[in-house]
Amino acid sequence: MRIAVVGSGYVGLVTGACFADLGHEVVLVDNDEKKLEALRTGDVPIHEKFLPELLARHRGGRIKFSGDLQAATRASEAIFIAVGTPPTESGDADMSYVESVAREISGAIDSYKVVVEKSTVPVYTNEWIHTIILRNGANADLFDIASNPEFLREGTGVTDFLYPDRIVVGVENERAAEVMKKVYGPLTSGWYYGRSDAIPRPDRAQGPPRLIITSAQSAELIKHASNAFLAMKISFINAVASICEMVGANVQQVCDGIGTDSRIGPRFLNPGIGYGGSCFPKDLLAFRAVAKEGGYDFRLLEEVIRINEEQRRRFLKKVRSVLWTLRGKRLGVLGLAFKGGTDDIRESPALLLVEELLKEGCKVCAYDPAAMERAKEVLPEGVEFAPDAYHAAKGADAILILTEWEEFAALDLERLRGLVRYPIVLDGRNLYDPAAMTAHGFSYYSVGRPPALCEEAGTGRSGKKERA
């Protein structure tokens, strides 16, 4: 099929590259000419596994880059809107970019098109897009609106797209449904999975995904409800972790106990310093705003948000209790992105903690495999950036693990122990087994598990007693 994807941000770029790999002819549209030129010359603006390979495979062939939205619309059978919907001060989603695209599309609808919401949008956005396109002169018989929410996790977005749990499509008639079935046919038929050059199947993938056809309003709500539920699961286990610390229980054992219940499952039961990124914080605010507009006080969402913010404060309090005073302390910080596998720092708990530590007079030497360049743009002056984890740890009074990168879970602990000033690790992502850390001479503090102190009872190299 001929497909236009509007917006070359995270969702748009992954969507366009994956559609091209499914065999469609894709035009990726953006109004930023510098970004388009960079994409044409081989630049990949985001850190995403398999995305560079897909762009290299299809650039100049099945995927092209253009700043002409109307020309792309005329040439396409389906137009996917994947522009940003950032939160306003009130928490509502800013729909001005979506509206602008809808107005411009209307002047180029000269044959039947399906205009697809791919951005995360509030309920009834489909109706507004339909109204705007009509108001700007399009023939009502020549277009339909569909809602096709994305469920992409940063760091695994390509495999999430190509090996999804489900594909949700919200339409109001069979004509539009048939177009969307054709768009995703390579996945639902299993054809893509038989190709020798298909992106490798992740372990969790079961088989061809189920295509769920709903009303447009239901599809829009599915996206918000899914993200709200996952954020609630994260906040719930973080609240449980806090109780575990109070009573001396081990949250990992608790997670094993409740995660084996098939009604609950183990995924997203990972205690830590809280969620971040571009989706959960924004989507919870937008979902709450939708509920409030409809007259429903969704207080559960407010508590999910409160627990997430409290989790960062609790971790900072733990750092204080372990180190006693923070002013002048040198901290090796591992991780700046909001999660492993991405360079996205939006709403990153790691960055928020670094900023608080700097306010309290700490000296921070930080390392992240992908997010340092972005972090340099927003962090205050004075942060030292290291070329690897070991340089960040050199001479540190304590090491803080704030992002769950795989390489941070596989550090050479003997080497690390020889570099630090004091053998203290505060792990905000529970990457290590406490017994293994004490065996290597570290005093180890994690989330929801009892502290594990080395046999030296927290004594540093100088022989002075560490506060634990």
pLDDT tens, the chain, 468 aa long: 999 999 999 999 999 999 999 999 999 999 999 999 999 999 999 999 999 999 999 999 999 999 999 999 999 999 999 998 877 777 677 888 999 999 999 999 999 999 999 987 777 889 999 999 999 999 999 999 999 999 999 999 999 999 999 999 999 999 999 999 999 999 999 999 999 999 999 988 788 999 999 999 999 899 889 999 999 999 999 999 999 999 999 999 999 999 999 999 999 999 999 999 888 888 898 888 889 888 999 999 999 999 999 999 999 999 999 999 999 999 999 999 999 999 999 999 999 999 999 999 999 999 999 999 999 999 998 899 999 999 999 999 999 999 999 999 999 999 999 999 999 999 999 999 999 999 999 999 999 999 999 865 444 433 344 443
Segments forming the whole domain that contains residue 269: 224-307
Domain boundary among 258, 277, 307: 307
42-45, long-range: CB < 8 A, 24+ apart: 45/8, 45/13
Residue 209 corresponds to which tokens in the numbers above?
């995904």
d(CA 345, CA 398): 23
3-class secondary structure, 342? coil
Record the pTM.
0.88
β-sheet bridge partners, residue 81: 6, 117
Task: Check which CATH number belongs to the domain holding 365 and give it.
Answer: 3.40.50.720
**Strand pairing category for 143-147 and 63-66:** unpaired
C-alpha distances out from residue 420 to 195, 330, 331, 391, 403, Å: 49, 10, 10, 10, 19
Structural domain includes residue 466: no
**Strand pairing category for 143-147 and 113-117:** parallel
Name the active-site residue from 244, 279, 362, 454. Answer: 279
3-class secondary structure, 238? helix
- The span from the first CA to the last CA of the chain, in angstroms, equals 62
Q: What is the pLDDT of residue 456?
A: 54
255 is catalytic: no
Structural domain includes residue 173: yes
Task: Confirm if 30 and 41 have CB atoms less than 8 A apart.
Answer: no
- Are both 92 and 125 inside the same structural domain? yes
d(CA 311, CA 251): 15
- Are both 13 and 155 inside the same structural domain? yes
Which of these, 344, 342, 346, 347, lies nearest to 156 by C-alpha position? 342
| Alpha-carbon 51 to chain mean position | 15
Name, in order, each residue with C-beta under 8 angstroms of 385's C-beta and a sequence gap of 6 or more.
365, 366, 367, 372, 375, 376
- Are both 256 and 346 inside the same structural domain? no
The phi and psi torsions of 136 (rounded to 5 degrees) equal -95, 20
Q: What is the pLDDT of residue 119?
A: 80
Structural domain includes residue 205: yes
Stated as kind and residue range, the H or E segment containing 333 is strand 330-334
- Are both 60 and 113 inside the same structural domain? yes
Q: At what angle do helices 216-247 and 299-323 cross, to 10 degrees?
A: 30
C-alpha distances out from residue 382 to 408, 419, 437, Å: 24, 22, 30
The single-letter DSSP state of residue 289 is H
Structural domain includes residue 454: no
Domain count, the chain: 3
The phi and psi torsions of 156 (rounded to 5 degrees) equal -130, 25
- Are both 161 and 38 inside the same structural domain? yes
Structural domain includes residue 154: yes
Residue 219 corresponds to which tokens in the numbers above?
């599809």
d(CA 81, CA 120): 10
Classify residue 100 by burial, with Cβ atoms within 10 Å: 0-12, 13-18, 19+.
middle
Identify the sign of the CA torsion 418, 422, 426, 430. positive
Structural domain includes residue 465: no
Q: At what angle do helices 125-135 and 96-106 cross, to 10 degrees?
A: 40
Structural domain includes residue 248: yes
3-class secondary structure, 285? helix
Classify residue 444 by burial, with Cβ atoms within 10 Å: 0-12, 13-18, 19+.
buried
The single-letter DSSP state of residue 452 is B
d(CA 288, CA 299): 8
3-class secondary structure, 221? helix
Domain boundary among 290, 307, 324: 307
- Are both 294 and 317 inside the same structural domain? no
d(CA 455, CA 442): 9
Residue 423 corresponds to which tokens in the numbers above?
């053998």
C-alpha distances out from residue 38 to 65, 66, 89, 258, Å: 10, 12, 32, 48
- Are both 328 and 189 inside the same structural domain? no
- Are both 392 and 249 inside the same structural domain? no
- Are both 360 and 338 inside the same structural domain? yes
Stated as kind and residue range, the H or E segment containing 25 is strand 25-29
Structural domain includes residue 357: yes
- Are both 206 and 141 inside the same structural domain? yes
Which of these, 159, 156, 157, lies nearest to 13 by C-alpha position? 157
- Are both 271 and 297 inside the same structural domain? yes
The phi and psi torsions of 242 (rounded to 5 degrees) equal -65, -40
Domain boundary among 285, 307, 329: 307
- Are both 10 and 119 inside the same structural domain? yes
